[in-house]
Amino acid sequence: MGEQIAQYLSTNGAELQQAFLQHVEISALAFLIAVIIGVPSGYLCWRFKSAGKPLLAFFQVLRVIPSIAILLLFIPIMGTGVIPASIALVLLAVPAILMNTTAGLGEVDPAVVETGYGLGMTDRQVLFKVRFPLALPLILAGMKTAAIEIIASATLAAKIGAGGLGELIFTGLGLNRMGLVLVGGLSVALISLAVSLLFDLLEYVLVAHRHARAKEGTKMKPIKTIAACLAAVGLAVTLVACGNATAGSNENGKDTIRVGSKDFTENIVVSEVYALALEDAGYTVERVPAVASSVIHTTITSNEIDLYPEYTGTGLLSVLGMDMVTDPDEVYRIVKDEYDKQFDITWLEYAQANDGQGLVIRTSVANEYGIKTISDLQKHASDLNFASQGEFDQREDGLPALIATYGPFDWKSSKVYDNGLKYSVLSNGEGDVSPAYTTEGQLTNTDEYTLLVDDKQVWPPYNLAPIVRNEVLNANPDIADILNKVSATLDTETVTALNAAVDVDKREYDEVAREYYDSIK
């Protein structure tokens, strides 16, 4: 693992830096907005206690909602990307700041307040020169908690195409690369540690200033110091954003193309091959990897990415919600027509590679129960532990399709795992059966894993093809020819071999993609 980390750092330093800066940018923006909302709201809750109770209750309820749920709730309203991610993080952070502000102001010693009035201070002066300074340690504690929660939860923003260090973590999970997960996780931990130390230092300095002012009558202005710090942070975020902004076109007059991918090996590798082909043709490519499969369609329709590899069967059943069709050409014709009409998106030519849905079982278990087909599996479901990926249980072409055709599956147990962990779960015996795609590299190891025969033909064809926003394709028509040439080289055997190179041989996905592209260009 140490070798993997060293290799990644030596070859992908720029990618790590970009993800790091994106993470800081998203976190800082959400934190600043949360402070702007949380501190005044906390004051109002303290000042108007009866009226403030509903506001406190509202934000307390928000604290118990999982961050990923808040992210997904905003997708239908605001789409994907940085804006919904930032709003979700703000909602996560406000409660800690609001409640600590309310508590801090409420815990100020009344005798001190009376002393202020006795010295002739106005209400405004008492508020800003007595109450807030004395409540500041507790307010800062709330801000510290909020900041760390934001930094940790910002990793989930990658699931909706907002970037950040979550891209490394989810890409690592999708590729079963714990080294990449560790790089992303340690980077998040370092940011959290730095922010925690910063707040500790800030509190120490402000308390020291207050004591110095009380003892020596100095004219230090801690509030101005805080404002200056916040202004500096805001300037830094702005500079980062400007520094990372991508120009509309490069020196060749070619547009910048945003190439996305889903969060599993095959899609990431094929997406990288697309990116290399476009770069070879003179385009600047912005990569948006490891977007959650459940939201990537929203990502392209909301103009967060320009193209990504999709599957004809997924488009037919999951996106369009249409009835089952088993002829590959008919499926392609339907999705091509409907995507153009409904979403202003073009399906380019599909590859012969058919990454169909399937079920994989440990070979030892299959031999024990004599399971070769899904019909056999259904009969023995009560003896087996099912390792699902969550959405498979709900997708029309997932478990519901199996139940409709084969009958109910009364599993001994059913648990949800990340897709990138399923083979580890199977190999260590925590699960016996899992959803799989028929081109996954691990399936080449038949001594360990067996792909079950879909004897009643539940699933339609899942041919791989690039889909592109029409606006981008109309402005850059040569993209079609560039990517169609890539698709023409991809068959099921080839894609399975690419997956095996990453998942079984543990090679870097970008290295595998580069080697393959060099062999076909």
Cβ(294)–Cβ(322) under 8 Å?
A: no
CATH architecture of the region 256-354+461-520? 3-Layer(aba) Sandwich (3.40)
Q: What is the pLDDT along the chain (521 residues), one digit of tens a residue?
A: 566 666 666 666 677 787 888 898 889 999 999 999 999 999 988 888 777 778 777 777 766 676 666 666 666 666 666 777 888 888 888 989 998 999 899 888 888 888 888 888 888 888 888 888 888 889 999 999 999 989 988 887 777 667 788 877 877 776 666 777 888 888 898 899 889 888 888 887 776 655 555 555 444 454 555 555 555 555 444 444 444 444 455 566 678 999 999 988 999 999 999 999 999 999 999 998 888 787 899 889 988 899 999 999 999 988 998 988 889 999 999 999 999 999 999 999 999 999 888 999 999 999 999 999 999 999 999 999 999 987 788 877 789 989 999 999 999 999 988 777 889 899 999 999 999 989 999 998 999 999 999 999 888 899 999 999 999 999 999 999 999 999 999 999 999 999 999 988 989 899 999 999 999 98
Q: Dihedral (C-alpha) 425, 378, 414, 367: value to the nearest 10 degrees? A: -30
Give how far Cα 237 sits from Cα of 29, 31, 394, 504, Å. 8, 12, 40, 40
Task: Compute the radius of gyration of the chain from its Cα atoms.
Answer: 27
Per-domain boundaries in the chain: 2-244, 256-354+461-520, 357-451
The fold adopted by the segment(s) 357-451 is: D-Maltodextrin-Binding Protein; domain 2 (3.40.190)
CATH number corresponding to 2-244: 1.10.3720.10
| DSSP character at residue 316 | I
Which residue, 146, 131, 137, is CA-closest to 47? Answer: 131
Cβ(453)–Cβ(322) under 8 Å?
A: no
Cβ(100)–Cβ(142) under 8 Å?
A: yes
Q: Which residues 6+ apart lie within 8 Å of 257 measured at CB?
A: 278, 283, 284, 285, 286, 306, 307, 472, 476, 479
Q: Is 365 left (phi over 0), alpha (psi -120 to 50) or beta?
A: alpha
Cβ(387)–Cβ(433) under 8 Å?
A: yes
* DSSP track, 76-124: HHH-SSHHHHHHHHHHHHHHHHHHHHHHHHHTS-HHHHHHHHHTT--HH
> The whole model's pTM is what?
0.63
Same fold yes or no, 2-244 and 357-451? no
- Could you give the residue ranges of the DSSP H alpha helices within 122-247? 123-126, 132-153, 166-174, 178-216, 222-244
Distance of CA 423 to the CA centre of its chain: 22
Three-class DSSP category at 460: coil
Distance CA(356)–CA(314), nearest Å, equals 9
